[in-house]
Chain A
């Protein structure tokens, strides 16, 4: 399973300060730590970044890729910033991922960028009208995003459908609906559609010591249903992903499989 390291986010105070001061050290340290812990891709979440977003994302991409030889998941709602980020991204280390488009007309233009820069893209299964009620509604939105992707010239294998994980503490009934959506998304195409989740949202608002527990067990069920990728803390989930690969026969067992 593809692990996208989540820790470089404007929500974290240390990261926000580093972004403001353009101090590469904390960013590069986080990138390296996540890469060593098993991340295949690094998320760079700069928030809405309405002002100076282009400069900021370019600095982020080059700073991160100056420290680790892996691709970046670009996370902002700012169209110009995404384009600026894609321009400096080093595709030799893998193709970038745009986070995200959705069924909101304001976000369709992200598909245009994915097509233009040969980038992969996340399709968040929400529309303008608020949160989806169940797996079926997520699936219906997914089908619309897929149609839109084809219209914009984005191959379906470059689209990662995201069912939107909600908080256990406030929306417990959605936990199972999201798992069901992962199963349903794959049936929308042959070969099956790729899927992604923002994993930690499941434990958002929960006590700190509970969070890794909820994250890991939830991830186990999602992988079992065929999840392709997760935006998560690799320190937390690499062990889970490797173990599930062994249980599902995708990797050959050896006593040191976790060290591989």
Chain B
């Protein structure tokens, strides 16, 4: 008797989301099956990876990671061009970390200036993130959104405490929006409902259920993402159908395993290799759970994850 693969059929479908302009756009989502289960449905787009840069020297990144961008990371515009031209990044994430009140506390105008310069310098799609400070982000992202008008960029992250202002700015300038909630599927759904009630188009949202690194709560993120996809596909819940974004680098490159030196922990092996492996494993776990767009930092980790994706699809 021949073996018949048991197949699940799904009633729902993930929204297709395109960002970027010109001939360098990225499209994610659109699938009606769980990740990589191509025999159960149609998965028209591969998960995409955006490489992260910051608007100031990344002094808080581990040395092994800083070294990769030595010579370019002091200048955000040069850094962005390096990612596009040399690393062949398909998209770039600009984190406006210097606007955080506990950091350089730069003004929304200064942030907007950097964004304008980067948008003029690169062709690949740009994802613009605030500093994750609820009040400051609602000022910074409003200024930045005006500059990004017409570029079909992604801005974020809108959270419970600031979603109204940020969503309004995204709507006014026709941008895509990241909606973030803190590892809670019910609050994730709630935020997407609230955004819809504001009149924000569900098909322009990227859901960020909050990421975490391997060994530091990865299983919580995994479980929330998995349940979001299950609700989207099996319950046909439209609030759970926006593509998922996983902000990986910021969680990976601060933990002991990626930071501790070989002198400190010789039995753990090379610090540089350890960090790359950690980012790869975290990223691969996230695409298995259902993430469609990844934010990563180390170019070698990015290349490895791309290879994995290539072999899975």
**In the complex, are the beta carbons of B190 and A252 less than 8 A apart?**
no
Question: Other than the known A252-B186, A254-B239, what 20 A-B pairs have Cβ atoms closer than 8 Å?
Answer: A250-B235, A251-B235, A251-B237, A252-B189, A252-B227, A252-B231, A252-B235, A252-B237, A253-B186, A254-B186, A254-B187, A254-B189, A254-B190, A254-B193, A255-B190, A256-B190, A256-B194, A256-B197, A259-B193, A260-B239
Give the interface of B toward A (CB within 8 A). 185-187, 189-190, 193-194, 197, 227, 231, 235, 237, 239-240
A252 to B231, CA, bound (A): 7
Q: How far is the CB of A80 from chain B (nearest CB, A)?
A: 38
By CB atoms of chain A within 10 A, which of B186, B189, B237 has the most? B189
Residues of B within 8 A of A253 (CB): 186, 189
Q: Mark A230-260, 1 if CB is under 8 A from B, else 0.
A: 0000000000000000000011111110011
A131 to B182, CA, bound (A): 57
A251 to B236, CA, bound (A): 9
Smallest CB-CB A-B distances: 9 pairs: A254-B189, A254-B190, A256-B193, A252-B231, A255-B190, A253-B186, A254-B186, A252-B189, A252-B237
Residues of B within 8 A of A260 (CB): 193, 239
Q: How far is the CB of A99 from chain B (nearest CB, A)?
A: 27
Q: How far is the CB of A247 from chain B (nearest CB, A)?
A: 14
Instruction: Provide a sorted-by-A list of 18 A–B residue pairs whose CB atoms are within 8 angstroms.
Output: A250-B235, A251-B237, A252-B231, A252-B235, A252-B237, A253-B189, A254-B186, A254-B189, A254-B190, A254-B193, A254-B239, A255-B186, A255-B190, A256-B190, A256-B193, A256-B194, A256-B197, A259-B193
CB-nearest residue of chain A relative to B238?
A260
Residues of B within 8 A of A256 (CB): 190, 193-194, 197
Residues of B within 8 A of A254 (CB): 186-187, 189-190, 193, 239
A252 to B194, CA, bound (A): 15
Q: How far is the CB of A171 from chain B (nearest CB, A)?
A: 38
Classify the secondary structure of A's interface with B. Answer: loop
Residues of B within 8 A of A252 (CB): 185-186, 189, 227, 231, 235, 237, 239-240
Classify the secondary structure of B's interface with A. Answer: helix
Residues of A within 8 A of B227 (CB): 252
Q: How far is the CB of B235 from chain A (nearest CB, A)?
A: 6
**In the complex, are the beta carbons of B186 and A259 less than 8 A apart?**
no
Residues of A within 8 A of B193 (CB): 254, 256, 259-260
Residues of A within 8 A of B190 (CB): 254-256
Q: How far is the CB of A173 from chain B (nearest CB, A)?
A: 38
Q: How far is the CB of B198 from chain A (nearest CB, A)?
A: 12
Residues of B within 8 A of A251 (CB): 235, 237
Q: How far is the CB of B207 from chain A (nearest CB, A)?
A: 13
A202 to B235, CA, bound (A): 31
CB-nearest residue of chain A relative to B230?
A252
Q: Mark A102-143, 1 if CB is under 8 A from B, else 0.
A: 000000000000000000000000000000000000000000
A180 to B237, CA, bound (A): 31
A255 to B237, CA, bound (A): 15
Residues of A within 8 A of B240 (CB): 252
Residues of A within 8 A of B239 (CB): 252, 254, 260
A259 to B235, CA, bound (A): 17
CB-nearest residue of chain A relative to B240?
A252
Residues of A within 8 A of B186 (CB): 252-255
Q: How far is the CB of A109 from chain B (nearest CB, A)?
A: 35
A252 to B227, CA, bound (A): 10
Residues of A within 8 A of B231 (CB): 252
A250 to B234, CA, bound (A): 9
Residues of A within 8 A of B197 (CB): 256, 259
CB-nearest residue of chain A relative to B237?
A252
Q: How far is the CB of A126 from chain B (nearest CB, A)?
A: 35
CB-nearest residue of chain B relative to A250?
B235
List residues of A (168-197) whose CB comes within 8 Å of B's CBs: none
CB-nearest residue of chain B relative to A252?
B231
Q: How far is the CB of A163 from chain B (nearest CB, A)?
A: 28
CB-nearest residue of chain B relative to A253?
B186
Residues of B within 8 A of A250 (CB): 235
A254 to B240, CA, bound (A): 11
Q: How far is the CB of B159 from chain A (nearest CB, A)?
A: 15
CB-nearest residue of chain A relative to B194?
A256
A251 to B237, CA, bound (A): 8
A256 to B187, CA, bound (A): 10
Residues of A within 8 A of B185 (CB): 252
Q: How far is the CB of A107 from chain B (nearest CB, A)?
A: 34
Q: Mark A202-236, 1 if CB is under 8 A from B, else 0.
A: 00000000000000000000000000000000000
A251 to B240, CA, bound (A): 11
A260 to B202, CA, bound (A): 13
Q: How far is the CB of A104 from chain B (nearest CB, A)?
A: 37
Q: How far is the CB of A144 from chain B (nearest CB, A)?
A: 33
Q: How far is the CB of A59 from chain B (nearest CB, A)?
A: 35
A192 to B282, CA, bound (A): 44
A250 to B231, CA, bound (A): 9
Q: How far is the CB of B182 from chain A (nearest CB, A)?
A: 15
Q: How far is the CB of A228 from chain B (nearest CB, A)?
A: 16
Q: How far is the CB of A259 from chain B (nearest CB, A)?
A: 7
Residues of A within 8 A of B235 (CB): 250-252
Q: How far is the CB of B160 from chain A (nearest CB, A)?
A: 11
